[in-house]
Every structure is written in C-alpha cells, then in structure tokens.
Amino acid sequence: MKYYIMILFSCIFSWSQSQNCSSTLSGEVHDFHDGTPITNATIYIKSLNKYTTTDVNGYFFIKDLCNDAIVFEVTHLACETKNIDIDIDGDTFLVVNLEHHIEELNEVKVKGASTSKITKTTQETILKSETIDRFSSLNLGDVLKQISGVSSINTGSTIVKPVINGLHSSRIIVMTNGVRLQDQEWGIEHAPNIDLNTAGSINVIKGANALAYGGDAIGGVIVLKPSKISLKDSLYGKSIITGHSNGRGYNFNTSLTKTYKKGWYLGAQTSLKRFGDFKSPDYYLTNTGLNAKGLSFNGGFKSFEKGFNVYYSYLDNQIGILRASHIGNVEDLVNAINNPKPLVIEDFAYDINAPKQEVTHHVFKTEFYKRFKKFGRVDVQYDYQNNHRFEYDIRVGDDRDKAAVDLTLKTHTLKTSVKLDSKSNITYQFGLNAGYQNNFADPNTGVRRLIPDYDKYDAGAFVISNLRLNNDINVDFGLRYDFNQIDAKKFYLTSRWNERAYNNEFANLVIDDLGTQLLTNPIFNYHNISASAGISYQINDRNNFIFNYGLSNRAPNPSELFSDGLHHSAARIELGDLRLKKETSNRVSATYNYQNKGLSLSAETFYNYINDYIFVRPTGTEQTIRGAFPVWSYNQTNAVLYGLDVTANYTLNEQWFLKNKSSYIKGKDVTKNDALIDMPSVKTVNSLGFSNKKWLNLKTELQSELVFKQTNFPNNNFEVYIPTTEQMVLVDVSSTPPTYHLLHLQSNITLTISEKSNLNIGLNITNLLNTNYRENLNRLRYFADDLGRNIMLQLKLNY
Amino acid sequence: MKTLKQLSLILLASIVLTACSNDDDGSNPEPVNEEEVITTLKATLTPVGGGTPITLQTQDLDGDGPDPAVITVSSALAVNTTYDGSLLLLNETESPAEEINEEIEEEDDEHQFFYQASNAVATFAYADFDGNGNPVGLEFTLTTAATASAGNITITLRHEPSKSAEGVSDGEITNAGGETDIQAVFPVVIE
C-alpha cells in the first residue's frame, strides 16, 4: 500500500461509444475544506508520460487521450501525492478535492459536482482547524456561530448551546469522533460536554438529512472529527496559549501525534482553561468563572483495506452561574427585571461558588473497519460514555455544600455499517445500531429528583444511497427506522399526580404509594421513521442548486416527559407531561451557490413544519410558602420555522476582501397563530479583511455584528400580586432586548521558526467599543448586561 | 485478519462485561424526603402583660407542589395593643416535624425577616439581633393601630439580604435584595 487513494465517483458518462483518441480530460483541483482552487498542482499521467499543471483557478486539461482506464497522479507542495484511477470515455471533467496539510486516507474525492462538501445534497458547512484554534479557549457554541444560520442559546457566556435554524438541545446531534454525544443535552443550561480542542474539523449539517447519525436531528447534526492522520513517519504537534483580558482567563492546549508510514498512529491532547468573573462594560458579573480540564488519546492503525481506532476523552467542567440570577420567588424576579444592574456585584475573583455546575464526561470508543474488494467497507464500533453532572444551589445549614442535582448518565452504543461503493455512480450504505442508557439520580442530594432514574433502549436501522446520474446531478435517498423505549421509575408528589389528572389516565403506572409520594413506573415505546431525499445540480461552473427534503421524528426526552420541580434561576416551576407524543418534522430546503473569480455566494433557505412541536410555556401561577411562582408546562403545538441564511465573500484583490453572513428566521405557532418563543434574531455580520503574505503573513479582519431586536415573540407576560408593595405587577418576561451592534477585530501573523515549525500570534478584540447590550437568547438577560470588551492574545506553535 | 478477530473478541467481551455491571434493575429507587423544606411558619403573638396568644400560621405540606399554602389567623387583634411575637418554622414533611429555627439562628447574619402591614394596622420592632448588631426577626414586637380596622400583615424571610443597605436594619425591605425563602400574607382584623 504505497498510495492511499479512494475513488468515490470516477468518470463521466458520455454517449459517444466509439473508441478514439481525441478525448480531453479536464478538471479542477480544490482545497477540500473551503473549495478554494489550488494553483500549480501537477497532474501526471504515468502510463502516457503526459503532465500539466493547474492554473490560478485550479483548472487543468489534457488533450488527445484514448478511451481507456488511466491512472494519474496529482501532486502539490502542501499535500501528499495522490493517485487517481479513471476510465476515460469521451471528454471527461472532474473535480479533485485535495486536503491541505495533513492528509487523511479517504479525503481525496473525485466528484462530478464542484463542491467541497462531504454530503452532496444537504446544507453543510465545514469549519477548519484554523478557525477552531482561534476559539481554542471558548466553546463549541461560540465557534459554530461563525456559520450563517447557527446561533446559540446561552446561560451566561460559558454555557453556550448551539442553535441550528432555530432548533437546539435534543433536536441537534453532536458527533465527536464517531460517537453520538449523550450528555443530558435536554436542558437549556446543559452545554455540550466537548473540548473544542479535540476537533480538527467541524461539519455542520442543517436539517435531519444525515440519517447515518440518527433520525431525530430535526435541527441538524454537528460532526467533530479529530485532526487527520498522515501516513508517514512523523512526529508533530501543536501548542496554543491564550490569554483574555475579560475574566482574566487563560487557556493552554497542547497535542502531540506520532505516525508511522505503515499505518500506526498515536496521539494525545490535553487542555486547561481557567476564567474568573467576567465583566460587562460597567460591572463584574459575579460568580461567572470557569475551570475546565480536558484530556484525550487517539490511537490505532489505518490502511486503505483495514484499520482500527481506539479513542478516549475526558472533560471536567466547573462552571459558575451568575450569583444574581439565583432568586427566590416571582417578586425577586420582578425586582431583578426592574433593576438595571444585577443585585449582587462583587469584586473580581476566580472563585466559583454556588450556584454552579460541575460536569465530567468520559468517552471511550473503539472502532474497526475492513474493506472488501469489489464490495465496500464494513465498520463496527462500540462506544461508552459516562456523564456525571452536579448542580449546586444556594442552600443553607448542613446541606450548604451538597449538590442539589447529582445525575449519572451511562450510555453504551454498538453500531455497524456497510458501505457499498464498488460501483462508480451509485453507493449504498446501510447500518444498524443498538444502545442502552441508564440514568441514576442520587437521592443523597436531599432534593427531589429533577430527572428520574431510567433505563433507555434504542435500536435503529438505516439505508442511504447516493446516485450520480451524470456529471452534474447527484441524488441522495435515505430511510431510517428507530425504536426507543424509556423505562423510568419516578416519584410524584401525590398532590402533583392528582393535579395533573394522571390518577385517571395513568393509575396503572403506580407501583408504590408512600402517602405523600407515589412511585410510578412509566414505560413508553416510540417507533420513528425518518426519510431523506436530496438532489444537487451543477448547472455550470458557476451555478449550483441543491434541493432536499427530510422527514424526521423525535421522541420526547426525559426532561419533557418528567420535569417536575422548581427552577431557581428562572423562578419558575417546570412541569413535564407524560402525555407528550413524538414530534414530526417535514423540512424542505433549497440552496443556491454561485462562484466566480471574485465572488462566492451561498443562499440557503428552509421551511420546516413540525407537527406536535414540544415547547415550554407559562400556564399559570402556583402559591407556595415562598410566595408565588409562574408554572411553565411542556406543551405540543404545530409549528413552522422558515428562514434564509446568506454567506457571501467578495475578493477585491489579493489583499482585500469583504464578507457577509446574514440570517433571517421566523418561527410560528400555527395552532395558536402566534410567534414561537426563543427564536434567534435577524443578524448580519459584515467584515472587511486584509492580508499580506509579505508582512509576516498578516491576516486581519474588522467585523461588524448587527443583531436586530426580535420583534416576533409570544406575549407570556403575567400579572402577579406583590405583597411587599401590595400591588398587582405585570411580570415582563417576554419583551426582547433592543437592537445592538458590536465591532470585533481579529488579526494574526505567522513567524517561521524552522522548516517544520511556525509560530502564529493572534490578537483578537471582541466588543471593541465596550458596548452595553443584552442578547435575547441569553437566559441571564433579565439580570445583567452581556460581556464588555475582551482582548485576547493567542500564541500558537505548530511543530 | 487475526488482529481484527482479536479486536472483535475484546469488543464483545467489553460489551458483555459493561452490560452486566449495570445491575440496579429490579430494585426500586429510594424516595427523597426534602430536608430543608419549610412547610410551616407560625407566628405567636402574646399580649404584653398577659392574655390569650394569637397565632398566624401558613402551612404548605406539599412544599413546591401544586397545593397552595393554608393561611390561618386564630382571632382578631385588639386595638392599641403591643404583642410579643415569636416565629416557629417547621418541616412537617418529616415525622416528627423538624424545627428549622435552629438553622436560621446558626446563620442569623444571612437571614432577616421583614414585617409589613397594609392600611397601617400595625407597626413592628425587632427584638433579636445577629453578631453584627443587625436585626434577625425571629423575635419581634407588634403594636396595633389605635382604631379598629382591617388589613394584611406580610412576613417575608430573605436569605442573604444586604443588611447594611439603607433602611434594611429598620425593617425596610425595598433595598434588601437576597432571595425570598418565605413569604406569607395574613389578613387580620383589629377590633
């Protein structure tokens, strides 16, 4: 195995049947990640001793070829040499996507469509390691916001959940090195337990069309892949040190990889991150620090024919939650909303006190694959995850230092897939998966369980196929079936059980009556069918269309079914509902891509109709000894979300460029003819960039981020009697913060230290003008302003 | 192929082993009886110089559950009378009921009760203080209005109030901040 090649799609059908030697092979060589043309790549046909090089647009052609099978070689300075087999049959055009830097086995793709994306007929964006490294000290949700149409829902600035086209939490699948993350993703204040530094690239697929990962990703799929392994004798690594002025934070990340030409590899990575209290322009945000530690190992063997991978990662996050956001009853909430400043402001500290979260997450994965000649590739994978979450509330007396929430979620998954890719114009992939999950809520907290103990069983099967009709048209089909069973043991207060009228409908679930509490054993089964169909059409070199349709179903998550208790940070009682059914999404989307020398444009639209959309809304107030609390209950309605995401790049000349990323989304509750809650605002980011290779490879970019006031929101305000002022008061939980505009500056230079190592120095300033603002999708917006100016200095050493 | 076979064996073994280690099936989880829940606040008002004590009580036996707190006032208060007041806090979900006063006394610098009356039916004064000389409010005096009237008495317990803020040590709740642990409104009649 001297060369590592994979051909997904080779030649093009031409109707000419006659054997002659006047065919032309032409094509384009692109960078796999961003589709930029690769200039000066050498194309060499060994058997004929013919060669050529690509021009500035990455274009090449070789004339006078016979209709025959040929092997040609593509070489470029920054890439390994690639060999490609192709059957010449008339004039043949193809696109070669090369991977810069470190090459992975099967990343050379020969395709009919001029696209740099992995899936051919979905709305997909790829973030490269350069971008990921810049966010090394931040969160997954922060880096994903670089993609138009992806926003985040935050609890402060360290709990950041990605939102894809208005959907988040259980509606998004996060894959890390082939493992579907199971980390209690149902809660809004549960950020993905991912150390961004373990990822070498991130693919974001909008909508539920990537059925190989799961059928319930109504929002989309985020795929984090480790850095590519190159098959040569090499030892390389990367270290990143970052310092932040805001939060006086620092971050250290380092990774080292040893590879062997024969295919063995071993890599290790570790990161440490520490922040103290962040600062808004006018005051410290007390108790918003962060302390995170991560560690991962990745090793195995890979060749074209077979290989295996063993992966382990560990993450420990300690996250402080704004002290002023912990409140007692609705009167405290009114005081907080009406007060322009948080009610607790202290001097800067690194200490993290209650309220806080402490989450550890382990991922263990092992995978192997074997490729059979004229058949395809078989993959088998087992993974185990352990997620342990503590949440600390402000408590008194002996329980002061005891966690209020102590949940351990263990997940085992076994999956296998077979990919049939021996035919050049059609591939099939089918797969099976089985999973077992156990949740354990430790009763020693002395607080009634927020999420009950449960066992969950999953089984799924899928088939997907890609059909290349001709050089310009790709068609995808997919079908998936999932079975989920949840078997929970939950205590209900007898009064709550009766108030919800469960005593009529679910009396048979009660297995023990303890007087004031009932032990119940709900067992629910869900059968879900999902389907996907897509087509991409390359009209010509410049214009490309993609259409697709996705059907997906999502079973209600444990939080939606079983929530039953008081949320202090929101001063509300949240109630799940045993009657919830699965939700069903029908999503259609269309994408138009345009590309010429200076301009690249991508416009993505979607329309997502969700039957029985599960959401939480206020349904009244309840009196307790603490005072009044609004009750938020999980409900279902029919909802529609639609929007447009635009990305445009305009290169003025070699040094200057302009960029625009804009997104517009609207969410409607069709049943009630009202707006949907928690929809991202209209946003446009415009940047002006300058780069000059001669000035130490300087790259700099000034970014203007404009976020408009969300004017479409449901009115969930309610009136409540405030005893201390003896007045009825309107609690305004609905009104959205005003439009805000922020300026950011990014710049970096690269110094060459030796032949194989370089140092990249980055200076990034966010919120340059120290603007006061509040973001609608930050749950702490009732209590405090968002972050003020931050100056970040980053040193990145590649060796 | 040999390595692959061995790998698959390891894989299968690990699945079997981990699957067996989850052995908590079948047994039921134990219930959680919330320890720090306050179900009951009872204010006992004893007329200075003697007489029948009057009690104001709020009791919410299902804690944060749907049932509202039950408010009871044993009888009307007399006009122009001073009462010695004391509070009793209980967790009645436990048997016998647990007294919570002690926890507040131990952390008295972090707690303060506030007393308010509508329609000027009564005025209040603190009778107990923490180590810093700031009021706590488990003990207090209540003086009723000089004329017969009716109104509400509101008792609020704040955790971690800012006791040094303006007016707070005089019993003004406006600047107190902190979190509300108890809030009860008692309709009273002065006659």
Asked if A394 lies within 8 A of B63 by C-beta distance, the reply is: no
**Which range in A116-120, A511-515, A568-572 is most confidently predicted, on average pLDDT?**
A511-515
Mean pLDDT throughout A628-650? 94
Question: Shortest Cα distance from B33 to chain A (angstroms)?
Answer: 7
Query: Which residue in the set B3, B60, B154 is minimally distant from A624, CB to CB?
Result: B60
Q: Do A396 and B159 make contact, defined as CB atoms within 8 angstroms?
A: yes
| Secondary structure (DSSP) of A335-361 | HHHH-SS-S----------SSEEEEEE
What is the DSSP code string of A535-577?
EEEE-SSSEEEEEEEEEEEEPPPHHHHH-EEEEGGGTEEEE--
Nearest to A636 by CA among A666, A611, A607, A663: A611
Q: Which two tokens stand for residue A423?
A: 């035919």
| Cβ <8 Å between B66 and A499 | yes
Residue A100 pLDDT > 70, yes or no? no
Q: Is B152 on the interface with A (CB under 8 A)?
A: yes
Share of chain A above pLDDT 70, in %: 93
Task: Quote the CA–CA distance of B61 and B59 in Å, as a whole number.
Answer: 6
Residue A131 parent element (H or E) = helix A129-134
Task: Write the burial class of residue A395 (CB in 10 Å: 0-12 exposed, 13-18 middle, 19+ buried).
Answer: buried
CB pairs under 8 A between A and B: 163
Is B19 a member of any domain? no
Least confident of A91-95, A359-363, B53-57: A91-95
Q: What is the pLDDT of residue B8?
A: 57
Distance, CA of A590 to CA of A604 (rounded, Å): 6
Instruction: Kindly give, in sequence order, each residue whose CB lies less than 8 Å from that of residue A225, ignoring residues fewer than 6 positions away.
Output: A177, A199, A200, A201, A202, A203
CA distance A335 to chain B (A): 8
Judged by a CB distance cut-off of 8 A, whether residue B89 touches chain A is no
For residue A630, the model assigns a pLDDT of 86
Tally the domains of chain B.
Answer: 1
DSSP-based three-state secondary structure for A631: strand
**Quick check: A491 and B62 CB within 8 A?**
no
Give the confidence band of A330 by pLDDT, cuts at 50, 70, 90: confident
For the cut 90, the answer to whether the pLDDT of residue A791 exceeds it is: yes
pTM of the predicted model, to two decimals? Answer: 0.84
Say if B27 falls within a structural domain.
no
Chain B neighbors of A502, CB-CB under 8 A:
none
- At A23, the pLDDT band (50, 70, 90 cuts) reads confident
Name residue A490's amino acid: K
- Decide if pLDDT at A103 tops 60: no
- Mean pLDDT across chain A: 89
Res. A32: pLDDT tops 90: no
Q: Which residue of B has its CA nearest to A343?
A: B177
Q: Domains of chain A (ranges plus CATH)? A: 20-100 (2.60.40.10), 105-204 (2.170.130.10), 205-798 (2.40.170.20)
Query: B41 in contact with A at a CB cutoff of 8 Å?
Result: yes
Question: What pLDDT, in 10s, does the model give residues A70-81?
Answer: 878 888 865 656
Q: What does the pLDDT read at residue A99?
A: 56
Interface membership of B98 toward A (CB under 8 Å):
no
Query: Contacts of residue A440 in chain B, CB cutoff 8 Å?
Result: 24
Residue A499: how many CB atoms within 10 A of its CB?
17
CB A537 within 8 A of CB A472: yes
**pLDDT above 50: residue A65:** yes
Token representation of residue B157: 């317990």
Going from the C-alpha of A692 to that of each of A101, A145, A457, A656, the distances in angstroms are: 21, 26, 56, 9
Which residues of B are less than 8 Å from A326 in CB distance?
179
Alpha-carbon span A486 to A496, nearest angstrom: 21
Distance from C-alpha of A169 to C-alpha of A613, rounded to nearest angstrom? 13
Asked if A451 contacts A556 with a C-beta cutoff of 8 angstroms, the reply is no
**Taking CA atoms, what residue in A is nearest to B106?**
A397
Chain A hits for B180, CB-CB cut-off 8 Å, are: 327-329, 331-332, 626-627
DSSP B108: G
Higher pLDDT, A610 or A10: A610
Quote the pLDDT of residue A96: 80
B14 in any annotated domain: no
Q: What is the pLDDT of residues A253-274, one digit of tens each?
A: 999 999 998 899 999 999 999 9
Give mean pLDDT, residues A443-465: 93
Q: Is B91 contained in some domain?
A: yes
Distance of CA B77 to the CA centre of its chain: 24
Residue B111 within a domain: yes
DSSP letter (8 states) at residue B78: P
Residue B1 maps to a domain:
no
DSSP 3-state of B118: helix
Q: Let me know: does A633 contact A610? Beta carbons within 8 Å.
A: no
pLDDT value at residue A328? 84
Q: How far is A509 from chain B (nearest CA, A)?
A: 14
Domain that holds residue B66: 40-190
Across the interface, whether the CB atoms of B63 and A623 are under 8 A apart is answered: no
Amino acid at the residue A523: I
Which residues touch B83 (CB under 8 Å, ≥6 apart)? B45, B46, B47, B48, B54, B77, B141, B142, B143, B144
Chain A interface includes B26 (CB < 8 A): no
Helix, strand, or coil (residue A756): coil
Would you call A519 and B173 a contact, using CB atoms and an 8 Å cutoff?
no
More confident residue, A188 or A361: A361
Residue of B nearest to A726 (CA): B118
CA distance B49 to chain A (A): 31
pLDDT higher than 80, residue A171: yes
Look over chain B and give the mean of its residue pLDDT values, rounded to a whole number.
Answer: 87
The pLDDT of residue A11: 30
* A447 interface with B at CB cutoff 8 Å: yes
The helix/strand/coil state of A97 is strand
Q: Which of A517, A453, A457, A515 is nearest to A489 (CA)?
A: A453
pLDDT for residue B94 is more than 90: no
Residues of A within 8 A of B9 (CB-CB) are none
In this prediction, residue A303 carries a pLDDT of 86
Alpha carbons within 13 angstroms on the beta-carbon side of residue A408 total 7
Residues in A closer than 8 angstroms to B18, CB to CB, are 384, 412
pLDDT score of A1 more than 80: no
Round to whole Å and give the CA distance between A452 and A632: 19
Residue B93 is part of a domain; what is its CATH number?
2.60.40
Q: How many CB atoms lie within 10 A of CB A513?
A: 10
Whether residue A619 has pLDDT greater than 70? yes
Distance from CA of B78 to the nearest CA of A (A): 23
Among the listed residues A407, A399, A406, A392, the one whose alpha carbon sits nearest the alpha carbon of residue A352: A392
Integer Cα distance of A120 and A124 in angstroms: 9
- Taking the Cβ of residue B163 and every Cβ of chain A, the question of whether any pair is shorter than 8 Å is answered with no
CA distance A280 to A246: 9
Residue B20 confidence (pLDDT) = 46
* A contact residues 703-732, partner B, Cβ 8 Å cutoff: 723-724, 726
Q: Report the pLDDT value the prediction gives residue A52, as an integer from 0 to 100.
A: 86
d(CA B83, CA A796): 72
- Chain A contact set for B116 (CB, 8 A): 723-724
Residues of chain A with Cβ-Cβ distance to B69 below 8 Å are 623-625
pLDDT at residue A429, rounded to an integer: 93
A-chain CB neighbours of B172 within 8 Å are none
Q: Cβ A328–B22 below 8 Å, yes or no? A: no
Instruction: Look up residue B85 and give its two tokens.
Output: 């007041």
For residue A213, which of A443, A680, A552, A697 has the smallest C-alpha distance? A552
